[in-house]
């Protein structure tokens, strides 16, 4: 797997910490993607997230899959037995 021109197996811990990566670990990939999308939305777009959370409007919604499929994000899943690791980084 290659991210930003480097093989994932060649990335050092320091490089991993220096880059804007978010790591999510769990057993259900659907839940992980949903958790990642909401956390990244809140982190990167805090004002819009606050509006979404406070809105009484039933028609206002957030689509986690559409958010992660944006060209702004690169995501990779690593399968470790029953555990899954979702790594999301800015493109």
Residue 44 belongs to a domain: yes
Give all strands (DSSP E) within the chain, no chain letters: 2-3, 6-7, 21-26, 73-80, 83-90
Structural domain that includes position 55? 21-90
How does pLDDT run across 52-61, given as a tens digit for each residue?
888 887 777 8
How does pLDDT run across 27-76, given as a tens digit for each residue?
999 999 999 999 999 999 999 999 888 888 777 789 999 999 999 998 98
Residue 12 belongs to a domain: no
Domain count for the chain: 1
DSSP state of 9: G
Residue 2 belongs to a domain: no
The pLDDT value given to residue 59? 75
The pLDDT value given to residue 20? 60
pTM of the predicted model as reported, rounded to 2 decimal places:
0.76
d(CA 58, CA 68): 22
Residue 62 belongs to a domain: yes
């Amino acid at each position: 797997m290659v991210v930003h021109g480097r093989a994932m197996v060649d990335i050092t811990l320091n490089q991993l910490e220096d880059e804007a990566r978010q790591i999510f670990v769990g057993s259900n990939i659907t839940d992980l993607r949903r958790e990642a999308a909401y956390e990244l939305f809140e982190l990167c777009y805090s004002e819009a997230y606050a509006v979404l959370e406070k809105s009484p409007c039933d028609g206002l919604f957030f689509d986690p899959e559409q958010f992660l499929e944006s060209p702004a994000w690169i995501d990779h899943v690593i399968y470790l037995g029953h555990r899954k690791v979702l790594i999301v980084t800015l493109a």
